[in-house]
Structure 1
Amino acid sequence: MVKITFQQVAGQKPEKEKDGDKAEILIPCQHEELVLPLRSKRSPLSGLCCLTFGLVVFMSALVLASIYVYRYYFIPQQDPEDNLFHCRVLYEDSIYAPLRGRQELEENVGIYLKDNYEQISVPVPHFGGSDPADIIHDFHRGLTAYHDIALDKCYVIELNTTIVMPPRNLWELLINVKRGTYLPQTYLIHEEMVVTGRVRNMRQLGAFIYRLCKGKETYRLKRRGSHRRIDKREARNCHSIRHFENTFVVETAICEEA
């Protein structure tokens, strides 16, 4: 039951209180039932799936973080001696293989990860037919410079990333084969370049190539579209440098304009 009482409004004269002055109205009130929402029961299988998915995501993030730390923190902190390699590789020249058999190429490799460049020194080869050279692959500038020691001239060309491994990849390759003296036996490929003109402004080549070619005649090169066999007349104006910055050996023929 609900009890409602009417009281006298303020400002009216008070009258004698009588038992019947107060009007009371009683209204019956129905009892309301309070209904609480029921929680749906979750299957134990769905909880197990969520837990498994969370573990997979966590382990994947952990693996990716480990790879990132190794490649971008641990490798650059290596001892400088770990960035210098003395390598010898055995390879076969498909043209002269029946006559000479397997040949050997020796070179010193310096890999500078922070500065993003490679420096290669090729001594005088034992078999001849190739010039000793110092080579720089500057990945920051996108340039390659060859210093032909026999001619004491420098040649500059755009970096060929299909042949030259990036510093980090080459470093990992040489670290993996450091247990032995020789790289796995490999093969030889040929590339041919032609001189296009003299370089006047050496500083535009970057600090590393500038240091290599300072005080030397320096020329620009361009690649010939397709490799062709060099005849005897052209061979007089061509000089070859054999080197490797990958899993194969490259013979770079540098030819003067006719």
Structure 2
Amino acid sequence: MGKISFQPSGVLQKSEKDEKDADKTEILIPLQQQHEELSVPVRTRKAAVNGLCCMAFGLVVLMSGLVLASIYVYRHYYISQLAQENLFECRVLYEDSVYAPFRGRQELEESVEINLEDNYEQINVPVPHFGGSDAADIIHDFQRGLTAYYDIALDKCYVIELNTSIVMPPRNLRDLLINVRRGTYLPQTYIIQEEMVVVGQVHSVQQLGVFIDRLCGGKETYRLKHRSSRRRIDKREARNCHSIRHLENTFVVETLICDQA
């Protein structure tokens, strides 16, 4: 006689459920592992972007350094060399038969700055060793066609039309002073006198150009005119005049600035 037994339906269902759960466990991937796998490409892109940023910053720093180095070289070498070529210290011996007839030759000292780009000359005359002349700063502005004298002893400025028959243009004067510096040319020893008289006061020097304004701004400034040609005056006639001696040609020029009679 055979015995027939039946497995409870709950056990069967449980077994089937365990199998299904087992199958699900085998194909599921943990969330942490998924996050790590997905985050790998993002980190790679960030590293590449950071590398490009660092490279760009390095190039900017390098280019900035090159620009600053170029500016430094230009300022300290090229400009200084150019300035030296246009700055001159002059010493000239000349004869003065009126003020120093028994002293022989006198020495004139001055410093000259030539500006070819702006077409002007600036002359500084220090206090002379033997008197007879005032210390002065002089501007010859060829663009404006004007000359300004600043008498340092009087603390006054005087302005007059540029006398191109005596004052050499900047380029010509520069070539002359270069030859004097080299010793290939010596200026003439004689002196020429030009006489000027005050005709009125200038109330605004700004209209006379930036260079004359820089020299005479804030100072009493007067307008001059040339007197007619005449013989060189002596000491007694020059008591109301002030003398400025300077080199602006192949000879020494004595500029007499006289008050109105």
- Report the TM-score when normalising by structure 2: 0.66
Aligned to 1:134: 137
Relative to structure 1, is the Cα distance of residues 113 and 235 closer, same or farther in structure 2, using a 3 angstrom cutoff?
Answer: same
SS at match of 2:118: coil
Gaps of 5+ in 1: 1-75
Tell me whether 1:108 sits opposite 2:111 in the alignment.
yes
2:139 aligns to what SS in structure 1? strand
- Report the counterpart of residue 210 of structure 1 in structure 2: 213
CA RMSD of aligned residues (A): 2.2
Q: 2:228 aligns with which of 225, 230, 233?
A: 225
Superposed displacement of residue 226, structure 1: 1.7
Query: In 2, are the aligned partners of 1:91 and 1:188 still within 8 Å (CA)?
Result: yes
Structure holding more strand per residue: 1
The answer on whether the counterparts of 2:187 and 2:251 sit within 8 Å (CA) in structure 1 is: no
Residue 84 of structure 2: aligned partner: 81
Distance across 2 between alignment mates of 1:181 and 1:237 = 40
Structure richer in helix, relative to its length: 2
The one-letter code sitting in structure 1 at the alignment partner of 2:109 is E
Which stretch of the first structure deviates more once superposed, 200-209 or 93-102?
Answer: 93-102
Counterpart in the other structure of 1:235:
238
Distance 1:182 1:96 in 2: 27
- The answer as to whether partners of 2:194 and 2:254 remain within 8 angstroms in 1 is yes
Task: Please give the alpha-carbon distance, in whole angstroms, between the structure 2 residues aligned to 1:130 and 1:113.
Answer: 29
- Whichever residue aligns with residue 227 of structure 1, its letter is R
Q: Which moved more, 1:139-148 or 1:185-194?
A: 185-194
Whole-angstrom distance in 2 between the partners of 1:189 and 1:102: 15
Task: Specify the alignment match of 2:16 in structure 1.
Answer: none
Whole-Å Cα distance in 2 between the matches of residues 143 and 200 of structure 1? 16
Shift in Å, 1:140: 0.2
One-letter code aligned to 1:148 = D
List structure 1 segments (4+ residues) > 3 angstroms apart after TM superposition: 94-98, 180-185, 228-234
Distance 1:232 1:119 in 2: 29
Partner of 1:143: 146
SS for the counterpart of 2:165 is: coil
Q: Determine the structure 2 residue equivalent to 1:247.
A: 250
1:232–1:251 Cα change, 3 Å: closer
**How does the TM-score come out when normalised to structure 1?**
0.66
Q: Distance in 1 between matches of 2:185 and 2:170?
A: 20
d(CA) in 2 for partners of 1:232 and 1:249?
A: 19
Question: Please, which of 246, 255, 259 is the counterpart of residue 256 of structure 1?
Answer: 259
Structure 1 residue 77: deviation in Å? Answer: 11
Give the superposition deviation at 1:184: 3.6
State the 1:97 CA deviation.
6.3
Partner of 1:173: 176
* SS of aligned partner of 2:182: coil
Cα distance in 2 for partners of 1:185, 1:257 equals 32
* Aligned residues between the structures: 183
Q: For residue 176 of structure 1, give the secondary structure of its aligned residue in structure 2.
A: helix
